Structure 1
Amino acid sequence: MKPALTLHERTLNLTRFPVRKIETLQAWDAADEYLINHTHDMELDPQRPILIFNDSFGALSCWFSTQGNVTSITDSFVAKQGCITNLKANQLPQINIIDCLAELPEDPQLVLIKLPKNHRLLSWQLQQLCNHLPEDCVVIGAAKVKEIHTSTLKLCEKYLGETRTSLAVKKARLVFIKPNPALAQPMPAPKKWDVPEHGITLTNHANVFSGESLDIGARLLLKHIPQKSKYTDIIDLGCGNGVIGIKAAQLNPQANITCVDESFMAVASCEANARLNLKVPEQIKTVVTNCLDSIQYSSADLILCNPPFHQQTTITDHIAWQMFCDAKQVLRPKGQLIVIGNRQLGYDEKLKRLFGNVDIIAQNDKFIVYQSGK
């Protein structure tokens, strides 16, 4: 793993977050380098804002932090902490870091977008920009060549303005978008749909997993959430829109439910769904954090978990492993962890290694629901 980004006689030491003892992936990619190289000779006004969207671990934020008034916009708590960590490590000025639902700074001069794979998020961000940008603002998107499709460019044209692309360099490409105020329109409301078999109505912000229907993994897990009077504290780990935590609250009205996610949009959706579906919405508390970092040890009787198997665009199992390790610390003695995962992910081996026990409580052609006890 290469820890140092060196360009234009300047070096940044960058790490991914959370920090792992053995890291095999670097904290930036060729698209970051392409953006830095392309804008190197650009004359920037130190007073007008520079907006950076979806900066995975702060490489772009660190680079531009000495060149102007930088605001980083992210939906990821992990990305935010990575940016803060790398700014401190390189002794760079602090920048403004906001979530995707916050108001943007006025009169930006430059917008850099690491184009997300989630087209719902991209559409939302482009519409937000179209409502906000002055006509002289320079907008440049970037991603790996394989992640920029015709549909990606059509979204840029539809929601922000005239779009053209660069040549490919190191398998990355830039997308240049000229803001067109005539395309501005009111921001769309979050998607909403019903789960009639459970009497639940869900609303989802743009970057929440399975944002237009209930995913089949959650549908299976919903059928196997236990109902026991002994539960006083239940955690929905990686809560997304909160459907699992809401069902747990309906089944266990005596319990305090904590819904945890690293996505600000997910937690905002969960809070809205608690108000939509629970007589006492305060039964659910939400926390934005990395896995269970800020949760007290030995404080939960039951943890329900549908782990992600990717970080940004990288497929990985280290997030699930950290979730399981954190769960063991946070569970009380005799507490239970219930996990759902794709068959091929082999979570049973990890759970048995960590807890010393694992049972299969449900399965179908694609998913298995596991249970381990502390």
Structure 2
Amino acid sequence: MKPELTLHERTLTLQRYPARKNETLQAWDAADEYIINHVQDMELDPQRPILIMNDSFGALGCWFAEKGKVTSITDSYIAKQGCVANLKANQLPHIKITDCLAALPENPQLVLLKLPKNNRLLVWQLKRLCNLLPEDCVVIGAAKAKEIHTSTLKLFEKHLGETKTSLAVKKARLIFCQPNPKLAAPMPAPQQWDVPEHNMTITNHANVFSSDSLDIGARLLLEHIPQNDHLKDIIDLGCGNGVIGLKAARLNPQAKITCVDESYMAVSSCQANAELNLETPEQITAKVNNCLDQFPAKSVDLVLCNPPFHQQTAITDHIAWQMFCDSKQVLRSKGQLIVIGNRHLGYDGKLKRLFGNVSVIAQNNKFVVYKTVK
């Protein structure tokens, strides 16, 4: 896959993050190109902020970095690292990159919003923008045409202002929204719900998987977390709201639990849930990271993992493979990796190839829980 984006007699070299040999996926899409083409001739005030939301790997951040005061807002640590790497590779000026929960700059002139996969996050972001934007701010949403439905436009209308859409170009479409401050409303609190069978109350920010109930994969894995006095260091990898790490902490009060996710909202939810559900919440440390980058080798007794099988909107298994490889690095001798996955993903083959052993410790009609030992 060629990494060069060329538009308007300008070329950027853009890579997905983390960089892989023989990459088959681009670091930008047709919606990014559509935004760039549409905004190219706009007169921008160099003193007023430009907000970019949900920029996958920094294509928009790089393109507009020299156009003014750019702030990129993302819930993804990987997207942030991708943007930083691409800015450096193209020798572009630094832009401000913040997570979704951080304060936003006032009086922006332009908002470029790539639609997130999750409508809960979209609604949360639209409500936040409605509380912030002046009426003269230009708001442009973008996505693949097939991802923009009548219901999507109604969300913009309901939570931000009058909305129109463009014609489709290269299977992408733009959304134009006029901010209406009269629609401003208080921001909703994170979703909260109970898991009575495990005596937990779980809170979820908008972009955390399974926002209002315990998903069936986690429900199965919760029943098969080891309890052993010899476990001193445990990692919940891809922790989401931290429910697996919470259960591991209760079963193993002598252990230090590290919960890791690439979502800032997930890590914030996990920290809140430790406070809500543990007598000693300091037993859990929640960390934003790309898998287990920079974790010390041979430092962990157990890794619990529920891998994602997508990156942004692309379906891929390379994240699961990196999680398994990183787990092997950080596990001590005889340490265990316990993984849950959909049956069709075939994780047992990957685990057998990497560790030389794998066993099934539980399964139902949809999920399988595997165990492998270093």
For Structure 1 versus Structure 2, the TM-score category normalised by the shorter chain is over 0.9
Partner of 2:285: 285
Q: 1:2: Cα distance to partner?
A: 2.1
Q: How does 1:174-189 map to 2 (within 5 A)?
A: 174-189=174-189
Secondary structure of 2:291's aligned partner: coil
Cα shift readout 1:275-324 (whole Å, capped 9, x = no counterpart): 00000000001110000003111110000000000001000000000000
Distance in 2 (CA, whole Å) between partners of 1:152 and 1:315 is 22
Q: How does 1:199-210 map to 2 (within 5 A)?
A: 199-210=199-210
Distance in 2 (CA, whole Å) between partners of 1:302 and 1:213 is 26
Aligned residues: 374
Partner of 1:273: 273
Q: How does 1:263-342 map to 2 (within 5 A)?
A: 263-342=263-342
Secondary structure of 2:41's aligned partner: coil
Secondary structure of 1:43's aligned partner: coil
Partner of 2:30: 30
Distance in 2 (CA, whole Å) between partners of 1:133 and 1:213 is 33
Secondary structure of 2:88's aligned partner: helix
Matched, 1:17 2:17: yes
Partner of 2:77: 77
Distance in 2 (CA, whole Å) between partners of 1:159 and 1:124 is 9
1:93 alignment partner AA? P
Q: 1:152: Cα distance to partner?
A: 1.0
* 4+ residue runs over 2 A deviation: none
Distance in 2 (CA, whole Å) between partners of 1:57 and 1:38 is 20
Distance in 1 (CA, whole Å) between partners of 2:51 and 2:57 is 15
Secondary structure of 1:192's aligned partner: strand
Secondary structure of 2:201's aligned partner: strand
Matched, 1:256 2:256: yes
1:196 alignment partner AA? P
Cα shift readout 1:126-148 (whole Å, capped 9, x = no counterpart): 00000000000000000001111
Secondary structure of 2:86's aligned partner: helix
Distance in 1 (CA, whole Å) between partners of 2:324 and 2:207 is 24
Distance in 2 (CA, whole Å) between partners of 1:299 and 1:184 is 49
1:275 alignment partner AA? E
Distance in 1 (CA, whole Å) between partners of 2:292 and 2:151 is 37
Partner of 2:131: 131
2:202 alignment partner AA? L
1:276 alignment partner AA? L
2:279 alignment partner AA? K
Q: 1:21: Cα distance to partner?
A: 1.2
1:59 alignment partner AA? A
Q: 1:29: Cα distance to partner?
A: 0.2
Matched, 1:217 2:217: yes
Partner of 1:361: 361
Cα shift readout 1:90-142 (whole Å, capped 9, x = no counterpart): 00000000000011101000000001120000000000000000000000000
Q: How does 1:67-106 map to 2 (within 5 A)?
A: 67-106=67-106
Partner of 2:164: 164
Is there any run of 5+ residues in structure 2 with no aligned partner, and where? Answer: none
Secondary structure of 1:131's aligned partner: helix
So what's the TM-score if we normalise by structure 1? 1.00
Distance in 1 (CA, whole Å) between partners of 2:24 and 2:278 is 44
Q: 1:149: Cα distance to partner?
A: 1.2
Distance in 1 (CA, whole Å) between partners of 2:211 and 2:17 is 26
* Structural RMSD (CA): 0.5
Distance in 2 (CA, whole Å) between partners of 1:226 and 1:72 is 41
Distance in 2 (CA, whole Å) between partners of 1:312 and 1:26 is 12
Distance in 1 (CA, whole Å) between partners of 2:273 and 2:264 is 14
State, as a whole percentage, how many aligned pairs show the same letter: 78
So what's the TM-score if we normalise by structure 2? 1.00
